[in-house]
Structure 1
Amino acid sequence: MEKAEDLNFIYRNPNEPIEARVKDLLSRMTLKEKVGQMTQIERRVATPSAMKDFSIGSILSAGGSGPFENALSADWADMVDGFQRSALETRLQIPMVYGIDAVHGNNNVYGATIFPHNVGLGATRDADLAERIGVATALEVRASGIQYTFAPCVAVCRDPRWGRCYESYSEDTEIVRKMTSIISGLQGKPPQGHEKGYPFIMGRNNTIACAKHFVGDGGTHKGLNEGNTISSYDDLERIHMAPYLDCLSQGVSTVMASFSSWNGSKLHADRFLLTEVLKDKLGFKGFVISDWAALDKLCDPPGSNNRFCILSAINAGIDMVMVPFKFEQFVEDLVYLVEHGEIPMSRIDDAVERILRVKFVAGLFEHPFADRSLLDIVGCKPHRDLAREAVRKSMVLLKNGKDPRKPFLPLDRKAKRILVAGTHADDLGYQCGGWTATWDGKSGRITIGTTILEAIKKAVGDETEIIYEQYPSTDTLARQDISFAIVAVGEDPYAEFTGDRSELVIPFNGPDIISSVADRIPTLVILISGRPLTLEPSLLEKMDALVAAWLPGSEGEGMTDVIFGDYDFEGKLPVTWFKSFEQLPLNVESNSYDPLYPFGFGLTCNKKKAIQ
């Protein structure tokens, strides 16, 4: 059989129009090759024979699934290029596309710049900042050979009990819409007159983006991950669908369907929303991808009827399926369903056209391999400076002084002696949160970065003594010569359902640490969390100052920039801070709105105090 390189095929000519290339390539494909393009598999099963025998169209890394522990970008590029060589040995030499959850920087890769999670970026309200973060993230992703990131999440989180709350920019639809500017950073900014809904990727320094999770994932009942969003279509459209209009205007190339349901209908099988609304009404021309093994969950018990699940999802409008391991069975079942007329060939052709369109737009046929010239940019100073800027702009000052006339912040960097305490003061993993190094994150020095403690030491210099104790001893607390204390406490890392909570308390005895210190020493509390947590009035009263730092990522100096007064606080609450857990769900549209701190709250302070 002739190979593509032996013939002058239209699809191999970069000077031909993209739609002509798509049509030409599609006409040359067998059913099995088409199904292969619709299949995305995890890298651990992507053997050379699997890639060639099944014409696999896409590979992904699950969170933490890399070449080896602490692999650098060059190691990733070597791995991805190896997979690409296998893909290019197929009959038609269609390049595979590699996807990864680079949701706050290229967070799977050791040494990459880790930006604040989305909830922190939402506190900045800074669309230009989000776009610049998209540019930097795209460069660091492409340096690793990867062309596709499953980001951004444009969910509108209406309940902090949801384990993905930190992946949402805000409870407010308009803020989420504003922050979709990250897509123009990731993919490049489309020119004037660009056709809305048509995928757009500028060039080799950009990545394919993915708006997720369509639609309503942030509005599930009681904040349950993969739960049920109960709403009218008008509310679904007004609250949860609106950000997708901005994504489509920017040429977002892919959309991921949500694990969740809308009024009991699972999104992965909802033809009305995926096809009639997203594709037909909104004009989306990229491809719709499933979430991780999501098709298995379309039957009860999960995975009990593979063919029914595949039939439901593909006919509903899913184009690429994240299998991720049982791909042989998936290919066999999908081919069977097409050959027996249960899935029309027109639906397969539509899916493959969309996938090929994105691959052509992304330039994968011309540049399938990693650009090694980008390796030096990973974790570079300009990117870390950008992350530091994002951190300081995301800090929300909730309390500043027990007496409003006597602000506690900014702190005096020339203080004689400072106590630094708490479980999160010197833990980079806690600072970064989930989706960092692993799927749900972990404690410790998981990457390259600066902890709060290290940032404090840099900020004050050698003349100030820093006493660091996670759990301060009685003797330390009894000292009379400590100027003030900085206590950093917060949540442990989590992702998706592992973060669903039936209560939102500060873990690791955080309140006890705060109380023991604040009872004896003037205290600033820095709360590291992906969402508001319960703050009892008696505990809040003891604090001299309180800062919501969200999940700031690798650049801890962004926090010291504001607490020591080099910059003023700019962050405003992107979500409502509840008084009691029983109030939930509580947001600005609630009938009885009585928060501890309202949406949009955020103090400023006189930064000149510490630097006169």
Structure 2
Amino acid sequence: MGSAEDERCVYKDPNAAIEDRVNDLLSRMTLQEKVGQMTQIERRVATPSVLSGLSIGSVLSGGGSGPLGVAESASSEQALLSDWTDMVDGFQKAALESRLGIPLIYGIDAVHGNNNIYGATIFPHNIGLGATRDGELVRRIGVATALEVRASGIPYTFAPCVAVLKDPRWGRSYESYSEDTDIVKKMTAIVTGLQGQPPQGHPKGYPFVAGRNNVIACAKHFVGDGGTERGVNEGNTVTSYEDLERIHMAPYLDCISQGVCTVMASYSSWNGRRLHTDYFLLTEVLKNKLGFKGFVISDWEGLDRLSQPHGSNYRQSISLAVNAGIDMIMVPFRHEQFAEDLIALAESGEVPISRIDDAVQRILRVKFVSGLFEHPFSDRSLLQIVGCKSHRELAREAVRKSLVLLKNGKEPMKPFLPLDKNAKKILVAGSHADDLGYQCGGWTVAWHGSSGRITIGTTILDAIKEAVGGNTEVIYEQNPSPSTLASHDYTFAIVAVGEGPYAETLGDNAELAIPFNGTDVIKSVAERIPTLVVVVSGRPLVIEPHVLEKIDALVAAWLPGSEGTGITDVVFGDYDFEGQLPVSWFRTVEQLPMDHKANSYDPLFPLGFGLKCKKEA
């Protein structure tokens, strides 16, 4: 009986055409099962009865949410990699026990490596990768990230962010590759790294995943999230459709041409219209004009945000969003009410069954394309690859290539860098010299990140000690005392300052001053000792002219991640500087937003600026 039934189940036949499998499975589904497939819930509410009983389509980990709970600080107990695979496989087992046995998609924000996992390789955040201008490097980072994500049993990452950054006051600036659309377009090569290379002749807009070592990618946040007024997160982007298309939408065409499987709608608005309810942009443009055949997913509690400011109720929000073209809803906790309301909307005709069917077809298409029906569980042979030497070497290479040299010497003919590895005595100072968490930034273990030894890696201080000769005395004080500074026998000082970790709205910043008294530390050291300043930040920060005059060399290191040795590789001269500014470095915040094509453009350092530091023969 069972085998005869299986023979009639086209959707269970791995050799059948994907569209035939999609349509066969769709024809067997009840309305409740269809709504279940459109529902993505947080792992904390993903009980076996919910997953199997409601045929839930997807589960996610919110920022910092893992097998042992939600990471709040570096002191949180760390989940082992096997805890992740056990958890995800357990959820999958429950999903497969539903009536039709449809596997779920587990999603996570692996935005600079598999950053939720303790011990994973943490690559530079996107703004640093934009400084490399190296699309092939970014593709290789995608390959490595996909392997480390798959090793944890997870087939889906909410990456890449392809926002075009127009105002560094935005709290997600570091998630953007550049203020220049062409640079962002080049960096979309990470999609091919994550998902694999589509074969010649692959249908345009059709989703693609090469195999079990690849993951489902997500281009986000559609569209214009980097262009909001004053850089306000989730704010309003005021621009013509022509400029929206030319500046902000263009990178999505590159993602779609690479077979990107999913696109996430933005919290932000376009000329006052909320993206989560914009039928024109989500359906007429993204799906119809651009030919996107994967699924559109909402952002975290995106429907709740719709219902709160406008006074509309949750059911109306569901109707607006689903009819606009959102296919999968990141609920993440209100799954029962969401299901009840969407079923009622479908039964009343307010949300047409054809719209429900289109959403479910898109979700099932991605599930079949990604091989989840054939291989729903984790591949534990990948466990040893997380944080492996080759991936850390790749991250180190990315750090080297991302560094931008902004100043080298107080006089043009007297370069300060490279530094001497055999110096007798050096001073290392600043809030970021020995803080791995600050180096990695937000979206690292915890949602907003945190300070300290939050994962496995090498701080700048670690790297300096490793780089210099055994005869060099390294003195480290975060805030050097007057007595420390009074010593006259330092060859030079390295001061690392920058931003503390943040994510999203909490990162919005109208001042952009160097925090932790960074400017004072720079001045106190540079007035007495020849000084290299390394700025560790997710965006340009204010550097006062009198401070810039005092220091001997200035390097923008962005948020380099776990491999601090990439910094010392370059400042001590083993490699030359290659990075170019991916964004304009403003003089004052009053200049913001800046347009590098405007006649009034007057930055401290322009887009594309970056000095070389050739070693003497």
The TM-score bracket by the shorter chain reads: over 0.9
How many residues end up aligned between the 2 structures? Answer: 609
Where does residue 55 of structure 2 map in the other structure?
Answer: 55
1:426-447: CA deviation from partner (whole Å, max 9, x where unpaired): 0000000000011111001000
Greater displacement, 99-108 / 475-484 = 475-484
- How far the C-alpha of 1:606 sits from its partner, in A, is 1.8
Match of 2:359 in 1: 351
> Hey, what's the Cα distance between the residues in 1 that align with 2:3 and 2:436?
50
Matches within 5 A, 1:385-424: 385-424=393-432
- Write the deviation string for residues 361-410 of structure 1: whole angstroms up to 9, x where unpaired: 00000000000000111100000000000000000000000011100000
Query: Is 1:225–2:208 an aligned residue pair?
Result: no
Show the 5 A alignment for 1:248-263.
Answer: 248-263=256-271
Structure-2 residue corresponding to 1:479: 487
Alpha-carbon offset, residue 91 of structure 1: 0.4
TM-score (norm 2): 0.97
User: Hey, what does 1:16 align to over in structure 2?
Assistant: 16
Does structure 1 residue 81 correspond to structure 2 residue 89? yes
SS of structure 2 residue aligned to 1:439: coil
Q: Identify if the C-alpha distance between structure 1 residues 5 and 526 changes in structure 2 by more than 3 Å, giving closer, same or farther.
A: farther
Q: Distance in 2 between matches of 1:520 and 1:371?
A: 56
1:284 aligned onto 2:292: yes
The one-letter amino acid of 2:33's match is E
Which residue identity is paired with 1:65?
S
Shift of 1:257: 0.2
Match in the other structure for 1:538: 546
- Quote the Cα distance in structure 2 between the aligned partners of 1:146 and 1:442: 24
TM-superposed CA distance for 1:73, in Å, is: 2.0
Distance 1:587 1:375 in 2: 46
Q: 3-state DSSP class of the match of 1:550?
A: coil
Q: How far apart are residue 304 of structure 1 and its match?
A: 5.2
- Aligned equivalent of 2:336: 328
Partner of 1:337: 345
- 2 CA distance for matches of 1:303 and 1:163? 27
Which of 134, 137, 141 is residue 142 of structure 2 equivalent to?
Answer: 134
Question: 1:502 aligned to 484, 488, 510, which one?
Answer: 510
Query: Counterpart of 1:189 in structure 2: which amino acid?
Result: Q
SS of 2:359 mapped into structure 1? helix
Indicate whether 1:574 and 2:582 are aligned: yes
1:321 maps to a residue whose letter is: I
**Structure 1 partner of 2:320:** 312
Give how far 1:483 is off. 0.6
Report the alpha carbon displacement of residue 299 of structure 1 after superposing the two structures with TM. Answer: 2.8
* TM-score, scaled to structure 1: 0.98
1:155 aligns with 2:158: no
Residue 107 of structure 2 corresponds to which residue in structure 1?
99
**1:592 Cα deviation (Å)?**
1.2
Q: Secondary structure at the match of 1:276?
A: helix
Say whether the 8 Å CA contact 1:147–1:208 is kept in structure 2: yes
SS at match of 2:65: coil
1:213-233 CA-to-partner distances (Å, cap 9, x unmatched) read: 000000000100000000000
Q: Distance in 2 between matches of 1:554 and 1:72?
A: 18
Q: 1:187 aligns with which of 172, 177, 195?
A: 195
Distance in structure 1 (CA, Å) of the matches to 2:568 and 2:96? 50
CA contact (8 A) 1:4 1:91 kept: no
Q: Does residue 29 of the first structure (1) align with residue 37 of the second (2)? A: no
Q: How far did 1:53 drift?
A: 1.5
| Alignment partner of 1:198 out of 199, 206, 225 | 206
Q: Confirm or deny: 8 A CA contact 1:423 1:488 kept in the other structure.
A: yes
2:3 and 2:127 map into 1 onto residues whose CA distance is 49
The answer on 1:455 being equivalent to 2:493 is: no
Q: 1:530 to 1:4 in 2, by over 3 A?
A: farther
Instruction: Tell me which residue corresponds to 2:390.
Output: 382
| Residues 53-99 of structure 1: CA deviation (Å, up to 9, x unaligned) | 21101000011100123213221001000000000000000000000
Q: Indicate how the Cα distance of structure 1 residues 603 and 196 shifts in structure 2: closer, same or farther if over 3 A, else same.
A: same
Q: Name the CA distance, whole Å, in 1 between partners of 2:482 and 2:236.
A: 49
Judge conservation of contact 1:270–1:316 (CA < 8 Å) in 2: yes
Within a 5 Å distance, the mapping from 1:203-222 to structure 2 comes to 203-222=211-230
Moved more, 326-335 or 580-589: 580-589
Task: Tell me the equivalent position of 1:362.
Answer: 370
Deviations 1:409-431 (A, max 9, x none): 00000000010000000000000
What 5-or-longer segments of structure 2 have no aligned partner? Answer: 69-76
Could you tell which deviates more after superposition, 95-104 or 68-77?
A: 68-77
Q: Deviations over 1:98-148 (max 9, x none)?
A: 000000000000000000000000000000000000000000000000000
Letter in 2 for 1:76: W
Equivalent residue number for residue 596 of structure 1: 604
Tell me how far 1:462 sits from its aligned partner: 2.0
What residue is the counterpart of 2:571 in the other structure? 563
Comparing 239-248 with 461-470, greater Cα deviation is found at 461-470
What residue is the counterpart of 2:478 in the other structure? 470
Amino acid at match of 1:305: N
Give how far 1:2 is off. Answer: 8.3
Give, in angstroms, the shift of residue 8 of structure 1: 3.8
Indicate the percent of aligned positions where both proteins have the same amino acid: 75
Report if aligned partners of 2:406, 2:553 keep a CA contact under 8 Å in 1: yes
1:41 has 2:49 as partner = no
Counterpart CA distance in 2 for 1:80 and 1:7 is 29
Is residue 71 from structure 1 mapped to residue 79 from structure 2 by the alignment?
yes
Distance 2:470 2:523 in 1: 29
Following superposition, the deviation at residue 302 of structure 1 comes to: 6.8
When residues 3 and 323 of structure 1 are mapped into structure 2, their CA distance, relative to the original with a 3 A threshold, is farther
CA deviations 1:479-520 (Å, max 9, x no partner) are: 011110000000010000010011100000000000000000
Compared with structure 1, are the counterparts of its residues 519 and 592 closer, same or farther at alpha carbon in structure 2 (3 Å cutoff)?
same
Instruction: After TM superposition, give the deviation of residue 4 of structure 1 in Å.
Output: 11
- Between the aligned partners of 1:376 and 1:297, the Cα distance in structure 2 is 41
Aligned with 1:607: secondary structure? coil
| TM-aligned CA deviation for residue 587 of structure 1 | 2.8
Q: What is the RMSD computed on CA atoms of the aligned residues? A: 1.3
Residues 449, 302 of structure 1: alpha-carbon distance in 2 compared, 3 angstrom cutoff: farther
| CA pair 2-231 structure 1, distance change in 2 beyond 3 A | farther
Match of 2:528 among 498, 520, 524: 520
Equivalences for residues 283-302 of structure 1 within 5 A: 283-301=291-309
**Letter of the structure 2 residue corresponding to residue 218 of structure 1:** G
How many angstroms apart in 2 are the aligned matches of 1:323 and 1:497? 20
